Amino acid sequence: MTTDVRALWDFRDPGGSRARFEAALEEATGDDALVLRTQVARTHGLARDFDTARAVLAGVEPHLDAAGPRATAYYWLELGRTYSSATHEPASQTDEVRAAARAAFERCIAVATAGGLDGLVVDAVHMLAFADPTPEAGVRWADVGLEVALASDEPDARRWEATLRNNRGIALGQLDRHEESLADYERALDLVRPLGDPTRTRIAEWMVASALRHLGRLDDAKAVQLRLEAEWDADGEPDPYVFEELEAIFRAQGDDARAAHYAARQTAAAADGEQP
């Protein structure tokens, strides 16, 4: 039986995820074992230990000649992530590094496409935006990913729509195309809200409100951000990004006292987040 690696992941806890993958490896064989090892590598990457991640993948590479498309696609996907991802520091992203990432993601796409693995195709396509980080490329890769995801009957591909809409919205915002950006954020929110995950829903609402602020709809943006402030505070997890938006909103409305209040809250929340 093929292991469902998504069920073993908690991306907020790479170490705990690694323990689950390593436990599953004790009974896994063949391609299943190879896939699990690629996910062990990814846990090291999320901890910014890219050398260890590549060392784990180096142990997978000799087995690829006899492996199926799923294991091979995962290998190339995770190898690409060791070069370019959201976890990498910008200073590390040289042209050479990005070229290595791009080559690996393109290998993943080729293998996964031939194997009918649409979810892995979309994952690799969305990663190409990290190897090609201009806003124009961000829109282009989001569009490519959406084309594959929306045409697919595979749940692993369809579930990417919300993420791709969010990524497209970010890139459009960077291009000052805020009306289009808002439309993508609202679509992402519509997709996320029924999942019942408060954190994902609040993040999607924050993105909508941020686009509203950029469009000058300050009262609408403020209403959302003030509600988010109350919800995060009630959970004991004050969010500095909410405070950043509220500071900008009140500054734009000429309320310097309230803006200063949220600037102070932002600094305090960020400092608390840095505590061990």
State percent of the chain over pLDDT 90: 95
Give tens-digit pLDDT for 205-253.
Answer: 999 999 999 999 999 999 999 999 999 999 999 999 999 999 999 999 9
DSSP of 68-127: -HHHHHHHHHHHHHHHSSTTS-GGG--HHHHHHHHHHHHHHHHHHHHTT-HHHHHHHHHH
Has domain 1-129 been given CATH number 1.25.40.10?
Answer: yes
Question: What is the per-residue pLDDT across 85-94, written as a single tens digit (0 to 9) for each?
Answer: 999 999 999 9
Region 8-35 average pLDDT: 95
- pTM, full prediction: 0.91
pLDDT of 124: 98
Which residues of the chain are in CATH 1.25.40.10 domains? 1-129
Q: Answer whether 139's CB lies under 8 Å from 184's CB.
A: no
Tens digit of each residue's pLDDT (9 = 90 or more) over 243-253 = 999 999 999 99
pLDDT of residue 276: 35
Residue ranges of the alpha helices (H) in the chain? Answer: 5-8, 14-25, 30-46, 50-60, 69-83, 95-114, 118-131, 135-151, 155-158, 161-174, 178-192, 198-214, 218-234, 240-252, 256-273
With tokens 């729509």, the residue in question is 161
The rounded distance, in Å, linking the Cα atoms of 235 and 238 is: 8
124, 77 Cβ separation under 8 angstroms: yes
Q: What pLDDT was estimated at residue 1?
A: 57
**Single-letter code of the amino acid located at 160:** W
CATH code: domain 196-276 is 1.25.40
> Is residue 51 classed exposed, middle or buried when 0-12, 13-18 and 19+ CB atoms within 10 A define those classes?
exposed
Q: What is the pLDDT of residues 128-187, one digit of tens each?
A: 999 998 999 999 999 999 999 999 999 999 999 999 999 999 999 999 999 999 999 999
Residue 274 clears pLDDT 60, i.e. is over it: no
